[in-house]
Amino acid sequence: MGKCNGRCTLVGFCCLQLIAALERQIFDFLGYQWVPILANFLHIMAVILGVFGTIQYRSKYLILYAVWLVLWVGWNAFIICFYLEVGHLSQDRDFIMTFNTSLHRSWWMENGPGCLVTPVMNSNLALEDHHVITVTGCLLDYQYIEVVSSAMQIFLALFGFVYACYVSKVFMEEEDSFDFIGGFDSYGYQAPQKMSHLQLQPLYTSG
């Protein structure tokens, strides 16, 4: 029962991670945030690998999934530092999230709760193919929305990491003890073939 609970809990956390990652991917696409889009895609692939490893009793897949979660926590910690402008990071100077190819910001900057967007006409600050706007009245600034989103990703990743380590440990212990999970086929066992093709021959003796 404990093993089943661990597997079921891990699959549940993986499903929550998939939902959160897909939700984040949509808003990153809307905001043209190319680096987060790439990171989200890799994360989705890793979570699917974790689900497959959990269902198919593959401890190696769970180890890869756990290693990725460590990188994922680091990436989301960087996003939090970036939007809070920790150290020398600056949103006005560094356009890391778009590979420095555009000035696009988070989609939540213009579409946050209560935000009122007002275009500034004939502004000398406007670059080619861009327009200047002012955003007022936001109930929650877009920086904090991104921080909360990354914090939620870290929370799910930490729980997923703990359960991935636990379940993979259970799987490896069962492999070492040769516990026949799923029958002999999972260990490459082949049953001896029947000797039905042999024919009995009469034995003659000289008297």
Non-local CB neighbours of 197 within 8 Å, separated by 6+ positions? none
pLDDT range class, residue 24, cuts 50, 70, 90: very high
- If one compares 67 and 113, the residue with the highest pLDDT of the two is 67
Task: Kindly list the distances between the CA atom of residue 131 and the CA atoms of 3, 137, 167, in Å, as whole numbers in the listed order.
Answer: 57, 20, 52
Buried b or exposed e, range 165-195, using 16+ CB within 10 angstroms: ebbbebbeeeeeeeeeeeeeeeeeeeeeeee
* Structure tokens, 114: 């209560």
Q: Write down the pLDDT at residue 119.
A: 77
Q: Write down the pLDDT at residue 186.
A: 46
Q: Write down the pLDDT at residue 2.
A: 44
Q: Has residue 144 got a pLDDT over 80?
A: yes
Element (DSSP H or E) covering residue 133: strand 132-136
59 closest CA partner among 177, 160, 166, 171: 171
Q: Write down the pLDDT at residue 28.
A: 92
106 closest CA partner among 68, 75, 135: 135
Q: What percent of the chain has pLDDT over 90?
A: 45
The β-bridge relationship of strands 116-120 and 132-136 is antiparallel
Asked whether 171 and 46 are in contact (CB, 8 A), the reply is no
Q: Has residue 75 got a pLDDT over 80?
A: yes
